[in-house]
A = this chain, B = another copy of it.
Amino acid sequence: MSTITENEDLRKERAKCTFNIEELTYLLDDGYENTRRRRDLENKVLSTKGLLDEIPEEYLSHKEKYENVIRKCVKLHRALLEYDDLRDKPIDEKIKAILRDTVSLAVTKDNSPMMLHSGMFLMAIEGQANEKQQEYWLKRGRNMEIIGTYAQTELGHGTFLRGLELRATYDEKTEEFILHSPTLTSYKWWPGGLAHTANYAIVMAQLYIKDKCYGMQPFMVQLRDEETHMPLPGIKVGEIGPKLGFNTVNNGFLGFENVRIPRDRMLMKNAQVLKDGTFIASPNSKLTYNTMVNVRVLIVNTVAKYLSSASTIAVRYAAVRRQSQMKPGEPEPQILDYVTQQHKLMIAIATSHAYHFTVRWLYDVSDTVKENITKGQLDTLPELHVLACALKVLSSSECTSLVEVCRRACGGHGYMLSSNLPQLYGVCTATMTYEGENTVLLLQVARSLVKAWDRAARGQPLSPSMSYIENKTLAAKWDASLDGIVRNFQIVSRSKLASSVASFQQYMKSGLSYEDAWNKASVQLIAAAEAHGRAIVLAIYKQQIEKQARNVSLPLRDVLHQLLELYMVYWTLEKVGDLLLYTQISERDVKALQRRYEDLLEILRPNAVGLVDAFDIRDEVLCSTLGSYDGRVYERLMEEAMKSPLNKEPVLCSTLGSYDGRVYERLMEEAMKSPLNKEPVNDTFHKYLKPFMRGKL
């Protein structure tokens, strides 16, 4: 039907690639063994029958989506049980190996109602239950005899934990806790799987003993009868309704009417309540936020993955799509040849790399902190907390905005759900508000920075990631080397901190209270916190590339450096206002950087498709008509593709950017899946339109 041979364009793109794509894939996977394991698992699991949707879920009703995802989750669990050899390893051991795993995204692309079971529920038992409790509940949970979730956020209360209202009042006569929701705003709201999936939950509630409040404590609560699944007496549970994304996650609400649970259902690894109502406090409250830190570190990895998917789709599509006329008489060029298009897409690839490598460094920091904790040293935990906050904020906002740039770079077709770009935006943008809303986190980072500023003024030492704040030798002149750029961004960060502290102090001098002065200067303070995060990302991305580059071939080293330089120059141009204010950069330097940026786009252009191919994201995961891949082309990936089942695309969820470039065929195939296309005339014609057009309605 089609006379267009886009295949040819992609094949040409791949032939132009200057580096070995497989080598980059192994590097991104932290070694060949992980790539092999990941691909093997993907091949096995994704060839399970009935695991992938035949009709895209976008056509289903809200209720049908839930029913479909439950069916698939159960099947997926069984397949993983069979094929995943890391499945029973403790999470700490396997986490680095599985950072790039995406197999579950192919099955539940809008996420799963059981994601909180394997994530938060089991993790919370490990972190907060005592040995006896762990023995009982971990076994039941790991065997999937029960399905759990984690319920903390309430309808009227989010980030501010002290504001949570749900009460657990201890009754020493019966040795029970009475869970009660005093108001509508105290209803739990949001937990995944809570609505109709979970029969147990770990519920956070304000502990009251003899009218005294002992703060938030975790309770294991049975929600539903194990046999009938009916909610237990006094339990008000249901779903909160449709959302921008996560529509298959079954987010729920939960209220209690004087529900009694035995004393041993409070998780007592840290704090304890004795039979007589004596409260024994946790030895260290800081330990509880270690979980939160881990979750934020994981978010940095998640958003980098989302962005790698979005850029894969947009770059392949830009290689296939032809539009307008650049030169008279010539055919319509690939839109990837427009420098304005490269300007949108190359930075998306570079940013995905930046956070990919940064998160690996952050894991190393986190490992060291955990080691210290086991030795009883807790002093490095606050720094990790600040780093995780700052990097969660920067990565989530930057990757989300670039996912959207990728979508819009595909024009109208990117607006179609079959491109999967709108759905990627939906799940990616959620990271900006969940697990600590970004502005709230930046204010926390700002508090630490201001404390550090005070310590530096008193000559006290700072933590390593903030040490540049006291480095007096920084005031060097502009230097466009990568080291120079990092140094100048540190100057910017320090200067913005100095300037916002000065404003804050001025507001205090003018008569405002500490809190009001802080509030009034807070726009500047969060800008300083962001600048601190920026200085860190630039420094760490550079450091990691330099480390990695030692062990890779020269052509790959070149392209890794080009992406790094692109990222550096891009941010220098983005933040030129700050640099002009606080460093010695000149107009001439800015023009030279602009020129360098344009040269870098040209240098990177031939490797664009190769770079996204190296993300090695399967069609079932990309789930995009714009970005899928079939292995008929480009020899270096071809070899790898030959190990895959012949039918690599058992079901395409999307239509815009296949590896083979059959963009338009896929768009049409997808369109034909619409239930509306099953009948030439929809019933509404007879019921409404015809009488309407005859003037009878």
The reply on A90 being an interface residue by CB < 8 A is no
Q: Which of B61, B66, B440, B692 contacts A77 (CB 8 A)?
A: B692
Contact A415 B439 (CB under 8 A): no
A446 CB to closest chain B CB, in angstroms? Answer: 10
- The interface on chain A, measured as residues whose beta carbon lies within 8 A of the other chain's beta carbons, has a size of 153
Q: A412-B433, A524-B594 are in contact. Are A74 and B581 (CB under 8 A)?
A: no
The reply on A228 being an interface residue by CB < 8 A is yes
Contact B411 A430 (CB under 8 A): no
Copy number in the complex reads 2
**Which residues in B have their C-beta under 8 angstroms from that of A243?**
415-417, 422
Which of A324-332, A349-357, A363-371, A465-473 faces chain B?
A324-332
Report Cα–Cα, A594/B524, bound state, in Å. Answer: 8
Report Cα–Cα, A60/B60, bound state, in Å. Answer: 8
A344 nearest in chain B by CB position: B439
Contact B340 A684 (CB under 8 A): no
The reply on A693 being an interface residue by CB < 8 A is yes
Q: A196-B682, A197-B689, A339-B523 are in contact. Are A323 and B229 (CB under 8 A)?
A: no
Contact A692 B74 (CB under 8 A): yes
A245 nearest in chain B by CB position: B415
**Which residues in B have their C-beta under 8 angstroms from that of A146?**
693
1/0 per residue, CB under 8 A from B, across A224-252: the answer is: 10101111000000111111110000100
Report Cα–Cα, A145/B695, bound state, in Å. Answer: 8
Q: A60-B61, A577-B580, A689-B197 are in contact. Are A684 and B66 (CB under 8 A)?
A: yes
Q: Which of B226, B682, B695 contacts A67 (CB 8 A)?
A: B682
The reply on A156 being an interface residue by CB < 8 A is yes
The reply on A102 being an interface residue by CB < 8 A is no
The reply on A50 being an interface residue by CB < 8 A is no
Report Cα–Cα, A327/B190, bound state, in Å. Answer: 28
The reply on A343 being an interface residue by CB < 8 A is yes
Q: Which of B58, B443, B677 contacts A242 (CB 8 A)?
A: B58
Q: Which of B66, B440, B672 contacts A682 (CB 8 A)?
A: B66
**Which residues in B have their C-beta under 8 angstroms from that of A83?**
none
Q: Which of B60, B162, B668 contacts A155 (CB 8 A)?
A: B668
**Which residues in B have their C-beta under 8 angstroms from that of A4?**
156, 183-185
Which of A512-520, A558-566, A616-624 faces chain B?
A512-520
A580 nearest in chain B by CB position: B580
Contact A59 B61 (CB under 8 A): yes
A518 nearest in chain B by CB position: B326
The reply on A289 being an interface residue by CB < 8 A is no
Q: A416-B240, A523-B343, A580-B577 are in contact. Are A62 and B667 (CB under 8 A)?
A: no
**Which residues in B have their C-beta under 8 angstroms from that of A190?**
412
The reply on A334 being an interface residue by CB < 8 A is no
The reply on A36 being an interface residue by CB < 8 A is no
**Docked complex: A652-679 residues within 8 A CB-CB of B:** 655, 664-665, 667-668, 670-677
Q: Which of B156, B522, B694 contacts A340 (CB 8 A)?
A: B522
Contact B340 A526 (CB under 8 A): yes
Report Cα–Cα, A578/B587, bound state, in Å. Answer: 10
Contact A187 B240 (CB under 8 A): no
**Which residues in B have their C-beta under 8 angstroms from that of A579?**
577
The reply on A177 being an interface residue by CB < 8 A is no
The reply on A642 being an interface residue by CB < 8 A is no
Besides A155-B668, A499-B591, 9 other CB < 8 A contacts?
A56-B241, A145-B694, A160-B323, A231-B680, A239-B671, A241-B674, A344-B439, A408-B432, A408-B433
Q: Please name 30 pairs of A and B residues whose Cβ atoms are closer than 8 Å in the assembled complex, sorted by A.
A: A4-B183, A59-B242, A63-B676, A67-B682, A71-B684, A77-B692, A78-B697, A147-B689, A156-B322, A156-B664, A184-B668, A195-B676, A238-B672, A238-B676, A238-B677, A239-B677, A241-B416, A242-B674, A243-B415, A243-B416, A250-B676, A326-B519, A340-B439, A341-B439, A343-B523, A411-B433, A422-B426, A503-B595, A523-B597, A581-B590
Closest 6 CB pairs of A and B: A577-B577, A576-B577, A61-B61, A244-B422, A70-B684, A580-B580
